[in-house]
Amino acid sequence: MRHPLTGGGMTVALSDIVVLRDLLRPLNDLNDAPTLCRYLESFYTLRKPVASTINTLAGALYKVFCASPDPARKEMRDACFDYLSLGGLCSNGPVSLLSGLNPRPLSLFCHFFAVAIYGVGRLMIPFPSPQRMWIGARLITGASGIIFPIIRDEGVRQMFFPVTVPAYHRAPPVH
C-alpha cells in the first residue's frame, strides 16, 4: 500500500505489525499450518479499520486534489485548506485520521462531508446566487461520487462493522 500524497503506507505497515504480533502471541507452534491459516484469516479482518480508513482518506484526498477545471472540485480543494485552518477539531480530527491515531471510518466519513458542507457554506456567504447554489449542489454530489465508491471497494461491512465478520472472533487454540 503506497500513498504518495499522504505517506499512509508506512503507518498501515506498522499497524499491521502490531496486529500480527498480538494475533500470533498465543500460538505455541508456528509450524501448525491449519491453525496459522485460521489466524491469518483473522488478520485481514482485524487490520481493516486502520488500513481502510487510511486507504480511503488517501484515495479521497487524491481525487479531491487532482487537477480539474471543475469549479466544484476547486471549491472542495479550497474548503479542505480552510477547514484545516479552522483549528481545533477541524484540524485535529483529519490529522489523527491521517496518522492512524483515529482508525474510525465513521469519523473519516463525517469529516469528509463536514468539509463538503463547509464548502457549500462558503459559497452561500455573503449572498447565495443560482450559480453558487449550483456549484454547491455539484460539490455535494462530487464529494459523494468520490467517497462512496472508495468505501464500497474497501467493503462496507468490513470497514464499518468488522465485529460482524466471523474471523473477528477467533479464539486462541486449546492445547
> Between residues 173 and 58, which one has the greater pLDDT?
58
pLDDT at 82 over 80: yes
Residue 94: is it exposed, middle or buried by C-beta count within 10 angstroms (0-12/13-18/19+)? Answer: buried
Whether 81 is in a domain gets the answer yes
To the nearest whole percent, how much of the chain has pLDDT over 70? 91
Residue 161 cell numbers, joined = 462493522
Q: Please, what is the average pLDDT of the chain?
A: 87
> Between residues 79 and 160, which one has the greater pLDDT?
79
- What is the reported pLDDT for 131? 94
Q: Give pTM, 2 decimals.
A: 0.82
Run of H or E residues at 27: none
Whether 53 is in a domain gets the answer yes
Whether 175 is in a domain gets the answer no
> Between residues 162 and 56, which one has the greater pLDDT?
56
CA distance linking residue 162 with residue 175, whole number of Å? 28
> What does the DSSP assignment read for 13-32?
HHHHHHHHHHHHTT-S-TT-
- What is the reported pLDDT for 175? 53
CA distance linking residue 87 with residue 81, whole number of Å? 11
- Which residue type, as a one-letter code, is found at position 67? A
Cβ neighbours of 142 (radius 10 Å): 21
Whether 1 is in a domain gets the answer no
Q: What residue numbers bound the domain in which 57 lies?
A: 8-168
- What is the reported pLDDT for 98? 86
Residue 88 cell numbers, joined = 481545533
Residue 87 pLDDT class (50, 70, 90 cuts): very high
pLDDT at 151 over 70: yes
Whether 96 is in a domain gets the answer yes
Q: Give 142's contacts (C-beta < 8 A, 6+ positions apart).
A: 70, 72, 73, 76
Whether 128 is in a domain gets the answer yes
Whether 67 is in a domain gets the answer yes
Q: How many domains does the chain contain in total?
A: 1
Whether 86 is in a domain gets the answer yes
pLDDT at 167 over 90: no
